[in-house]
Amino acid sequence: EAQVTQNPRYLITVTGKKLTVTCSQNMNHEYMSWYRQDPGLGLRQIYYSMNVEVTDKGDVPEGYKVSRKEKRNFPLILESPSPNQTSLYFCATRDSNTGELFFGEGSRLTVL
C-alpha cells in the first residue's frame, strides 16, 4: 500500500528542546515537502526537496531545518522549538507524472 508515514503523530514538548519529526514514503517519489496547517492560515509550505541532497525553502522556513540523505526519508528538525511552532504538520510527496500530492496523516505538535 502506498504510504507516507509520519512520526510522532502527537507530541507535547517544551521551548528549546530539539525535536525531529520523521517522514518516510514507499512510493519512490522524488519530490517531498513539509507543510504546517494553522486555523485561518491554511496549509503553508515549510521546505521542499526535489531530490536527494536537494532542498529549498518554502514560505515559512524560519525555525526549521530539513535534510534529504536518502530518497524515502525527509525529516523535519526543530532545533529550538518555540510556542509559535505549535501546529499540525504534514509531510507530502508528489507524483511527478500527475502532480498529485500525497499527504501523511499529520503530526500535531504542541510547544509549551
Partner 1 sequence: QKEVEQDPGPLSVPEGAIVSLNCTYSNSAFQYFMWYRQYSRKGPELLMYTYSSGNKEDGRFTAQVDKSSKYISLFIRDSQPSDSATYLCAMSRPYNTDKLIFGTGTRLQVFP
Contact footprint for partner 1 (CB under 8 A): 4, 31, 33, 40-45, 48, 50, 58, 90, 92, 94, 98-106
Nearer to partner 1, 69 or 97 (CB): 97
Beta-carbon count within 10 A of 77 CB: 15
> Which stretch of DSSP H or E encloses residue 67?
none
Q: In angstroms, what is the minimal distance from the CB of 22 to partner 1?
A: 15
Q: d(Cα 63, Cα 77) in Å, to the nearest integer?
A: 9
Nearer to partner 1, 19 or 101 (CB): 101
Nearer to partner 1, 11 or 18 (CB): 11
Q: d(Cα 75, Cα 55) in Å, to the nearest integer?
A: 12
Q: In angstroms, what is the minimal distance from the CB of 15 to partner 1?
A: 26
